Amino acid sequence: MSLRWGSGSKSGEVQTDEWDSEEEEEKESGGGYMVPKEGGPALRGYPQQPSFLNLEDAASGEDPLLQRSLSAPAGYATYHRRCQYHGIRPDPSVAICLYALHPVVKVSRLAQDLDLIPIVETLKTPAVAQFAREIDLSGLNLGSISALLVAEMVQSCSFLRVLLLGRNALRDEGASMIIAALKGNRELSKIDLRSNRISSAGALKIARLLQEKDVGRALNEVVFVNNHMMQQGVDAISEVCESRKIAVYLDGNLVMAEVLNSLTHGTGLVAAIIAGASMIEEADSRALPLQLYRSIVIFCVSLCCMFASSCFYHSFFRGAKGAKEILKVMDHCSIFLLIAGTYTPILLKFIWSPEHPHSLVGPTLFYLVWGLALVGITMSARLFGKYTPSRKVRAGLALIMGWLIIFSIRLLWQRMPPRCLLLLSLGGVAYTTGVPFYVKGQEVSMYHVVWHISVMIGAALHYLTVLNYVVRPGLEY
């Protein structure tokens, strides 16, 4: 920077020529920094282009590039003017959306709080209101300070229909501020706040705000997936959204319950792999009939599949939607596979076996159970179209399959050792006891943990039944 006495300055007044040295450097390097018309500082890294702060030059024809820029959409020009005024580089994605008059305005890079100021100012102009309907601020790491600007945008931009704020760092205060701003917006129909940091306290505050009828009058969909609302917050928001007929998505908020679900069936998976391998090895060493040996392999594989699919599904409760859906289908299908897999060695040993007189009960039960298992798997995998069976339907079908064994109770009483029948029955009772907790698990997350424990108990009892009375023949007690 050089110092010089200005010809028109008062005596003793120092006038600074701040930009002489920088302009000389830029000329030598071949680059260029724009100097705003009003004398403000140039923007580092901002390419040379016409200033929108003073458009009178266009009338004289001195700047052809500026004349051409006047034909650009008003929203685009306004955005560039506001960026220059605040000394902020324009976001390329926002600029393109405004230039193309696109209904979705998306911010493409991590935004600092100040970056939102020219965007909000531009969105408030009538020119943008003519075409913009959706604002995408996803994945920008916005915090509570940024929520002030977002709330102002929601209040003043009444034309907005969709607001996407997923994958940010909004906490209770910021999220509540944005929801409260819906009081001044009668057009917004969807707000997405997935993967933020909203706790149960924040969820309760949001629920109280949504109870006010003038907050989000047009709202018909809210997304709070993958926050930290816990059971209390999930229940509060679910209740108010149900009363207002608002579709709400709350997956991934029950962290503690999902961790326990993963741990329980993760433990079961490790035990099933070790115990299953041991059982198959022992069955092989005892030279059991091939058909019976295969039935034991089927039982062990179905046990491992059930624990594995359940463990992975609950472990990735915050995973990608597509992967989570696949794991969910596998989890639901594996229940039917396990029931049929448990039946197989029992039927082939005690009912449909060359050791006993021929009876139609054995093959009838075998094919009926596996047929129902295929029906359950087909429904759960949505192979019948878009229809997805409810928890009650799946639980009902599983109970029917599990207790079909009652129709062979006379044969079992005659052919099974008493303790074998007792273990088999206790296993069925353990599974059945857990079913009500499974059905209610969607309302109270910890109930699903109880269901997992009952499944582990039932599986352990049936494992002992197969090991001691199918793999190890000869036990009469």
Ranges of beta strands (E only) in 241-351 are 247-249
User: For the chain, give me the number of helices (H) and strands (E)?
Assistant: 19, 8
Distance from first CA to last CA of the chain, Å, rounded?
Answer: 101
Is 462 known to sit in a ligand binding site? no
Residue 464's closest CA among 286, 279, 266? Answer: 279
Rounded CA-CA distance 57/38 in Å is: 13
Extended beta strands in 32-188, E state: 104-106, 134-136, 162-164
Contacts 24+ apart (CB under 8 A), 58-62: none
Of 168, 171, 163, 161, nearest to 194 (Cα)? 168
Q: Rounded to 5 degrees, what angle do the CA atoms 165, 169, 175 make?
A: 60
Nearest to 75 by CA among 120, 117, 127, 124: 127
- Residue 179 near residue 151, CB atoms below 8 Å: no
- CA 419-422-425 angle, to 5 degrees, is 150
Output the CA torsion 147→153→155→158 (10° steps): -150
80 is in an annotated binding site: no
Cβ atoms of 419 and 477 within 8 Å: the answer is yes
> How many whole angstroms separate alpha carbon 269 and alpha carbon 371?
26
Q: Is 332 within any annotated ligand binding site?
A: no
Beta bridge partners of 164: 136, 192
User: Which residues participate in the annotated binding site for Zn(2+)?
Assistant: 314, 448, 452
Query: Would you list which residues are annotated within the binding site?
Result: 314, 448, 452
